[in-house]
Structure 1
Amino acid sequence: MKTERIFIPTESPPQSLCWCGDALIDWVSGGIVHGLDGRSTNPWVRYAYRFDRAVMSPDGRYSVLYEVLGTKGLVLKEGKVLRELNRSFYHATTYEYPIALHTLPSGRTLLAHCPDEYCRLELEDLETGERLTRRTSQSPDIFHSRLQFSRDGRYLLSGAWIWHPIDMVFVFDVARALEQPESLDAAENPQTGEDWGCELHSAAFGEKDTLVLFSSDPVPGTTRAPEQDDMGSLGVYSLAERRLLSVVAPEAAVGTMLGVGDHVVSFYQHPTLIELATGRTVERWPELATGRQCSSIIHHLPPSPPLALDPAGRRFAVGTEKGIEIIRFMP
């Protein structure tokens, strides 16, 4: 797989990164726009709070700044403050703030988050704050985190955890949730079988209707060499067929992931391109530090460098002390 690499120098290290077309915006630093041509625009805004991450809607109109191990979020519309968000205090200093945005074909932008309780997932109209999933059903005891919408907005994924702690993955049908809000309380995790996937540490949407899943379990029916004991295994799961399609043992450690065709990029310590059919390491960028996150529980880890993933554009960006490194995967 061919790659293209671009470096954008910056006057100071980026504090956050969000893709907006062919530009990257550092909202935590005040909305600085970095173009791929090296030009930047600084609106000189200071938000006067401990925000350290940001997400942005696909249409580029909205963004949300938040404190990843805190309870506060701030909604911006075209760079202007719109409203504030909160999440439950319960273990908020332990695991990643749950939040994701998606713009529907109608132009309405959905906000997925947990505004009332750690276990109660909600969908809102981002601009108005209208709660679209009001219900009376009881929510199961799940700490929702690392929320992400599929590229087409059909599914919402939660890279969650349950008490002991155990990492789990849950997937929700967005259209069904809007029509039947109680479906958000009927959490379903991928049915991968009894001999694999007992603990799922991370997940990413793959091609078409697939999920790429990382488990600490070995490949079913195999014995790994001692040096592979901590590598776990990678599975590809079909959401349409509700079954596991394949499982392989990766040659490299796996953390946060980005699906790229029949490959996946792992960002554990540094970006590593892994072939899903074999688990083989195709390419790696050891000079780019990307942290050690492989769970929603991150209170014990140093802060990760800014990372912006763009599945549709098959690219990612990493903030460094000197600027922004961009890797794009060519068709």
Structure 2
Amino acid sequence: MRTERIFIPTRSAPDSLCWCGDTLVDWVAGGRSYALDGRITESSVLYSYRFDSAVMSQDGQYAVLYEKLGTKGLLLHRGRVLRELNRSFYHADTYEYPVALVTLPSGRTLLAHCPEEYCELELEDAETGERLTRRDSESPDFFHSRLQFSRDGRYLLSAGWIWHPVDAAQVFDVARALEQPRSLDEPKEMELGDSFVEIHSAAFGERDTLVFECSGLEGEEIAHPDGQPKGSVGLAVYSLTERRVLSVAPLEKPAGTLMVVGGYAVGFYEHPKLFELTTGRILEQWPEFHTGCQGSSIIHHLPPSPPFALDPAGHRFAVATDKGIEVVRILTE
């Protein structure tokens, strides 16, 4: 395994970063784009609001600007405003705004967010705004956050929290949700053993796997599938189809936000670190890149993190600095 680095000089620090093919787009700055060869395409658009983050669909057609600790979002199609988005005020200044986009194999783009209640997850047609998951069932008391679709659009992950507060995660079957909207109020149960496991961050891995950083409450040790304790904080790989933990590795350092690349994961707590999933060992790290201290959806007490963009399909990530954008690609073969 080896890594490659590219530096893209910029006149000012980007406000946000999203991958669109081999280009990085700063939607908060109006859609300014940065090609990997250093070409910069300016934008004349100014959004007169305090948006500080953005997500983008895989096909590059749709983007959402939002304020991480606010209630307002803005949905764009090819840079054109489609409509404003909102979420509940309830603790909105405490945890990260829940929103994600995915383009299905059919070509339809779905928007996942919580337009009515903090605990009520909805799927919409991004283009038309049609609510596809209307239902009359009661939603469980869960603060949805850090929404993420699996690469194939099969699953939707919510890495949020429940009241005390305790970090937790829920996973939903997207096709089932479109056919049976009530299933969004019935998340897939994960078999994690008898003791309660707090899930601090999570990301989809290869095939049907979910990778997450977890800990036992009050320092309780996390159990490994072979029955042996593996420490109080671990990096776990879970099979969604087999409904079992495949491995748990102890962590020497917090992982934070995760990006999975084959048998490895990059964690972005403080600075990017490349972890081996089966052992939790740090194989490489980039301490010169500051990426903040987010280890939960609850971030009201933290200074803002510099923008960084993840591209697990391309095995690369980008980090904004004062002087430009650093791109790191991980070569696993």
Q: When the two structures are superposed, what TM-score results if normalisation uses the length of structure 2? A: 0.95
Structure 2 residue ranges without an equivalent (≥5): none
Q: What per-residue deviation string (whole Å, max 9, x for no partner) do you get for residues 66-124 of structure 1?
A: 00100101111111111110011110000000000000122110000000000000000
- 1:29 maps to 29
Q: Do structure 1's residue 222 and structure 2's residue 229 form an aligned pair?
A: yes
Distance 1:171 1:74, change over 3 A: same
Q: What per-residue deviation string (whole Å, max 9, x for no partner) do you get for residues 10-35 of structure 1?
A: 11100000000000000101110100
- 1:48 maps to 48
Pairwise CA distance, 1:61: 0.6
Q: What per-residue deviation string (whole Å, max 9, x for no partner) do you get for residues 25-55 of structure 1?
A: 0010111010000000102211010000000
* Counterpart AA for 2:205: G
Matches within 5 A, 1:74-89: 74-89=74-89
* Counterpart AA for 2:271: H
- 2:200 maps to 201
- 1:120 maps to 120
- 2:305 maps to 304
Q: Tell me how far apart the structure 2 counterparts of residues 278 and 223 of structure 1 sit (CA, whole Å).
A: 10
Q: Tell me how far apart the structure 2 counterparts of residues 216 and 108 of structure 1 sit (CA, whole Å).
A: 37
* Counterpart AA for 2:36: L
Q: What per-residue deviation string (whole Å, max 9, x for no partner) do you get for residues 135-161 of structure 1?
A: 110101100000000000000000010
- 1:101 maps to 101
Q: Do structure 1's residue 233 and structure 2's residue 234 form an aligned pair?
A: yes
Q: Tell me how far apart the structure 2 counterparts of residues 86 and 324 of structure 1 sit (CA, whole Å).
A: 31
Matches within 5 A, 1:1-331: 1-195=1-195, 198-217=197-216, 218-220=221-223, 221-222=228-229, 232-330=233-331, 331=333
* Counterpart AA for 1:315: R
CA RMSD of aligned residues (A): 1.1
| Structure 1 counterpart SS, 2:184 | helix
Q: Tell me how far apart the structure 2 counterparts of residues 223 and 245 of structure 1 sit (CA, whole Å).
A: 13
| Structure 1 counterpart SS, 2:197 | coil
Pairwise CA distance, 1:188: 3.0
Q: Tell me how far apart the structure 2 counterparts of residues 283 and 273 of structure 1 sit (CA, whole Å).
A: 5
| Structure 2 counterpart SS, 1:183 | helix
| Structure 2 counterpart SS, 1:216 | strand
Q: Tell me how far apart the structure 2 counterparts of residues 5 and 123 of structure 1 sit (CA, whole Å).
A: 37
Q: Is residue 169–residue 190 contact of structure 1 (8 Å, CA) maintained in 2?
A: no
Over 4 Å off, 4+ runs: none
Pairwise CA distance, 1:223: 7.0
Distance 1:169 1:65, change over 3 A: same
* Counterpart AA for 1:123: L
* Counterpart AA for 2:103: T
* Counterpart AA for 2:208: D
* Counterpart AA for 2:77: K
Q: Tell me how far apart the structure 2 counterparts of residues 172 and 216 of structure 1 sit (CA, whole Å).
A: 22
Q: What per-residue deviation string (whole Å, max 9, x for no partner) do you get for residues 249-279 of structure 1?
A: 0232210000010011100000000001111
Query: Matched residues, percent identical?
Result: 68
Q: What per-residue deviation string (whole Å, max 9, x for no partner) do you get for residues 153-198 of structure 1?
A: 0000000100000110100000000000000001234221124x52
Pairwise CA distance, 1:222: 3.4
* Counterpart AA for 2:102: H
Q: What per-residue deviation string (whole Å, max 9, x for no partner) do you get for residues 212-251 of structure 1?
A: 1111233424375xxxx6xx11111000100001111023
Q: Is residue 252–residue 272 contact of structure 1 (8 Å, CA) maintained in 2?
A: no
Q: How many residues align?
A: 324
* Counterpart AA for 1:214: E
Q: Tell me how far apart the structure 2 counterparts of residues 89 and 140 of structure 1 sit (CA, whole Å).
A: 18
Q: Is residue 230–residue 250 contact of structure 2 (8 Å, CA) maintained in 1?
A: no
* Counterpart AA for 2:213: F
